[in-house]
């Protein structure tokens, strides 16, 4: 059976790859994002891949006041929402943020506060429906604070905890909450990194997301071996951890 | 970021100038930073230094389809789309690429900039013969539609133009219809070069043909080879391969490949076939892209990397030219797993830097080591003397003089580049080495 999907942050590489898989199943898609040119290009692409219908509208994550309005448009277009994927994020420059309170707060606002705002509104919508999936991209960076990116990590860590609570709350309403923790993914956000063995592609992460949604999983590391890496990283005693370069 | 071509030689510390997701993003960046000099890079599958520069524009995220006419077999897509993605879309709907190179992991932009050829060049021509139009972003950020009718000189300069005219944004391609994703393959043994050239002649009507050749064989075995012919099967299903490919995770120690190990491999490969001819039906993936099954096979040659030497010599020079060059390689003892011989059809003379000439092309891998370049320079002189030339997409070391003698249309190419102010902006390590950025 085809589904109705709301993609928030639809132009992120992981979102795009996931959306293509939905399109290949013949699903109906509603896309939210900032770059209207990319959204329009993506819409053509998804229709070619087999989407039943694709619509899109402008969405600015940091404009919290507008969230309800944008979601209303999506609900009106889709009527019923089977799956919501929240996929945007901004990898802030850790070194800048360390010297600049405003940059730190901005990063937390985009990666955490705006997502919390959306989830609060969407949770009530899906609870009212009595079904549906909220799939949210968090990060392995949220599992333990590290000097190289703890501001991004803070936002993702808090987001993971928010999702934990929400999952428990919505469980009895038959609403599925999925926390997705990708490892290193080769996307425009990380285009100028030198890539090693641990890196994966958005397409592989996307296949994992679809599977986790279909199987109603709660928390998924993608690729799955990251579960073990993070298990080890979390297990290192703080007294040793502070001395590491990680 | 540290970059290299597929041969892992040479390496260059480059700055990623832009990785646009839309034409407008790139346009804004070019207008905001008019000091840009560099080259567009797709999947980095050219072997040498043609996609290396101080600054790089990555086209990997120009990765969307624009339109697909399933009745007429017309496909329009952005330049960062790979042939793999195209096949995944079109094969189940009964279409195939009109021309495909030996890997599906190249981008459309790269395939056009290299004007790649495939196993059907002798009957079908090269990739750009099936490109109806391209959208090109010029040095000043202007966007131009180019085709055989619109700005034809820019179109012809860009087809095979190594990215030196501008950034290819998207392209429209014509496809060929297929009834099945299977290929009917015939493999025929040839004991030496004479036999092989006779087989090529006898099978010039075959849709696909290519020969694997043992470059270490000497004397009366010189040029022993296997000819592999292919036809699209009329029966079977239309499915894409789900095979993921085995990764090679590390650079292998380069001493593993030497004349003994390669000689043994080549002898086994040749003699594994007992009969003189075998026929089978196989999926297009294993027929066209056998090496894609081994992800990062370039790491087999070790950290220092390798270079692929691919030349073409005109048909008249054929037998004599090939045997003299093969003797020279065989005597050097520097062999390669992959030595591929193929006949090329008519030259597309309107395209200034396009590689194919009517004749024979031979491609060989050599790992980078002391003394190699002296051998290759010797080969250059022989190729030049026979009226041939070297494929720019494989090259990492040819001299400016060799290039300018063997690609006589380079001046006309430069003229068009200058007309569009491309010569001061778009440059690669290769174009600088070949004297295309001297004005």
ipTM value for the complex: 0.89
- Mean pLDDT, rounded, for B352-358: 97
- Strands A176-182 and B38-41 turn out to be unpaired
The per-residue pLDDT for B335 is 67
Residue A38 near chain B (CB below 8 Å) = yes
This prediction has a pTM of: 0.93
Mean pLDDT of chain A: 95
* CB-based contact, A48 to chain B, within 8 Å: yes
Average pLDDT over residues A122-141: 97
Contact A35 B22 (CB under 8 A): yes
Mutation target among B13, B20, B27, B63 for the A interface, most CBs of A within 10 A: B63
The rounded distance, in Å, linking the Cα atoms of A105 and A111 is 10
What is the secondary structure of B361-395 as a DSSP string?
EEEEEEE--TTHHHHHHHHHHHHHHTT-EE-TTT-
The verdict on a CB contact (< 8 Å) between A41 and B64 is yes
Contact A84, A132 (CB under 8 A): yes
* Closest alpha carbon within chain A to B17: A192
Contact A165, A179 (CB under 8 A): no
pLDDT of amino acid B439: 57
Q: Which of A144-158, B119-133, B178-192, B327-341 has the lowest mean pLDDT?
A: B327-341
CA B338 – CA B366 distance, rounded (Å) = 9
Please tell me the distance in Å from A186's CA to the nearest CA on chain B: 11
pLDDT at residue number B246: 67
Chain B contact present for A17, CB below 8 A: no
A45/B21 touch (CB, cutoff 8 Å), yes or no: no
A192 interfaces chain B, CB cutoff of 8 Å: yes
| A114-119 mean pLDDT | 98
**Pairing of β B389-390 and β B74-78:** unpaired
Interface contact flag, A44 B64, Cβ < 8 Å? yes
Residue B215's pLDDT band (boundaries 50, 70, 90)?
confident
Better pLDDT: B248 or A111: A111
**B162 is written with which tokens?**
């190594």
* Residues of chain B found within 8 Å of residue A11, distances taken between Cβ atoms: 21
d(CA B346, CA B358): 5
Helix (H, G, I), strand (E, B) or coil at A44: helix
Contact assignment for B24 to A37 by CB distance below 8 Å:
yes
Strands (E), chain A: 4-8, 28-33, 53-58, 83-86, 133-137, 176-182, 219-222
Tell me, what's the pLDDT at A98? 86
Residue with the two structure tokens 């650079």 = B251
pLDDT of residue B338: 67
pLDDT tens-digit readout, A15-55: 999 999 999 999 999 999 999 999 999 999 999 999 999 99
Residue of B1, B22, B68 lying closest to A194 (CB–CB) = B1
Examine the pLDDT at A90 and tell me if it is beyond 80. yes
A189 vs B5, residue with greater confidence? B5
Between B298 and B231, the higher pLDDT residue: B231
CA angle A174, A178, A179 (to 5 degrees): 150
Do B65 and A49 lie within an 8 Å CB cutoff? yes
* pLDDT for the residue B349: 86
* Tokens describing residue B159: 């087809």
Residues from B in contact with A at Cβ < 8 Å: 1-2, 15-16, 19, 21-25, 58, 60-61, 64-68, 78, 89, 249
Average pLDDT of chain B is 93
Residues of B in contact with A41 (CB under 8 A): 22, 64, 66, 78
Q: A192 or B73: which carries more pLDDT confidence?
A: B73
Q: CA separation (Å) from B366 to A1, A167, A182, B363, B429?
A: 54, 58, 39, 10, 20
Q: Report the pLDDT value the prediction gives residue B248, as an integer from 0 to 100.
A: 66
Look up residue B428 and give its DSSP letter: -
Nearest-CA residue of chain A relative to B296? A197
Question: How much of chain A, in percent, has pLDDT values that exceed 90?
Answer: 88
Question: Which residues of B95-250 form beta strands (DSSP E)?
Answer: 95-97, 131-137, 143-147, 167-177, 182-190, 208-213, 225-232, 246-247
Higher-scoring residue by pLDDT: B200, B242: B200
| Residues from chain B contacting residue A50 (CB–CB below 8 Å) | none
Chosen for mutation from A192, A196, A198, A201 (greatest number of chain B CBs closer than 10 Å) is A192
The confidence score (pLDDT) of residue B339 equals 86
Chain A residues within 8 A of B16 when measuring between CB atoms: 191-192
* Per-residue pLDDT at B92 exceeds 60: yes
Share of chain B above pLDDT 70, in %: 96
């Amino acid at each position: 059976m085809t589904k109705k999907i709301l993609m928030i942050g639809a132009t992120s590489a992981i979102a795009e790859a996931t959306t293509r898989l939905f399109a290949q199943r013949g699903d109906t898609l509603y896309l939210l994002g900032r770059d209207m040119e990319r959204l329009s290009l993506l819409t053509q692409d998804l229709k070619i891949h087999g989407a039943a219908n694709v619509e899109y509208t402008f969405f600015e994550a940091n404009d919290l006041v507008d969230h309800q309005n944008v979601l209303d448009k999506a609900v009106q277009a889709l009527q019923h929402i089977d799956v919501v994927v929240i996929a945007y994020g901004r990898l802030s420059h850790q070194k800048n943020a360390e010297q600049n309170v405003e940059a730190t707060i901005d990063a937390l606002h985009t990666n955490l506060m705006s997502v919390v705002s959306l989830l609060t509104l969407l949770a009530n919508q899906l609870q009212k429906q009595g079904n549906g999936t909220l799939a949210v991209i968090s990060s392995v960076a949220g599992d333990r604070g590290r000097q190289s990116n703890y501001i991004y990590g803070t936002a993702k860590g808090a987001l993971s905890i928010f999702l934990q609570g929400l999952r428990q709350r919505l469980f009895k309403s038959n609403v599925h909450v999925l926390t997705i923790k990708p490892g290193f993914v080769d996307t425009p956000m990380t285009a100028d990194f030198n890539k090693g063995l641990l890196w994966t592609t958005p397409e592989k992460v996307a296949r994992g997301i679809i599977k986790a949604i279909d199987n109603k999983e709660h928390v998924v590391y993608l690729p799955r071996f990251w579960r073990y890496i993070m298990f080890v990283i979390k297990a290192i005693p703080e007294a040793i951890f502070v001395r590491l370069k990680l | 970021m540290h970059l290299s071509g597929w041969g892992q030689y040479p390496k260059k510390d480059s700055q990623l100038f832009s990785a646009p997701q839309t034409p407008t993003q790139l346009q804004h960046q070019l207008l905001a930073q008019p000091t840009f000099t560099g080259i567009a890079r797709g999947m980095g599958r050219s072997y040498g230094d043609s996609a290396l520069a101080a600054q790089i524009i990555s086209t990997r995220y120009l990765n969307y389809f624009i339109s697909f006419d399933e009745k007429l077999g017309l496909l329009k897509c952005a330049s960062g789309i790979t042939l793999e993605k195209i096949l995944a879309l079109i094969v189940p709907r009964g279409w195939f690429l009109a021309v495909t190179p030996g890997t599906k992991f190249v981008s459309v932009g790269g395939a056009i900039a290299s004007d790649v050829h495939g196993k059907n060049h002798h009957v079908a021509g090269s990739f750009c013969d099936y490109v109806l139009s391209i959208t090109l972003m010029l040095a000043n950020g202007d966007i131009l539609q180019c085709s055989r009718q619109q700005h034809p000189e820019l179109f012809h300069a860009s087809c095979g133009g190594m990215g030196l005219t501008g950034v290819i944004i998207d392209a429209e391609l014509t496809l060929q219809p297929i009834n099945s994703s299977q290929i009917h393959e015939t493999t025929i043994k040839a004991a030496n070069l004479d036999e092989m050239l006779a087989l090529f002649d006898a099978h010039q009507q075959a849709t696909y043909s290519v020969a694997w050749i043992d470059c270490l064989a000497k004397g009366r075995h010189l040029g022993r080879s296997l000819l592999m012919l292919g036809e699209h099967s009329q029966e079977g299903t239309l499915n894409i391969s789900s095979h993921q490919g085995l990764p090679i995770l590390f650079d292998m120690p380069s001493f593993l490949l030497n004349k003994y190990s390669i000689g043994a491999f080549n002898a086994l490969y040749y003699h594994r076939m007992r009969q003189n001819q075998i026929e089978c039906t196989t999926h297009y993936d294993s027929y066209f892209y056998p090496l894609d099954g081994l992800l990062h096979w370039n790491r087999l040659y070790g950290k220092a990397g390798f270079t692929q030497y691919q030349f073409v010599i005109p048909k008249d020079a054929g037998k004599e030219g090939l045997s003299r060059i093969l003797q020279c390689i065989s005597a050097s003892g520097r062999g390669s797993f992959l030595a591929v011989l193929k006949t090329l059809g008519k030259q597309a003379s309107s395209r200034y830097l396009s590689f194919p000439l009517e004749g024979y092309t031979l491609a060989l891998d050599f790992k980078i080591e002391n003394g190699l370049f002296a051998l290759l320079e010797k080969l250059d002189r022989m190729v030049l003397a026979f009226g041939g030339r070297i494929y720019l997409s494989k090259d990492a070391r040819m001299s400016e003089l060799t290039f300018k003698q063997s690609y006589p249309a380079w001046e006309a190419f430069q003229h068009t580049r200058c007309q569009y102010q491309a010569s001061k902006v778009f440059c690669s390590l290769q174009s600088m080495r070949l004297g295309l950025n001297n004005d």
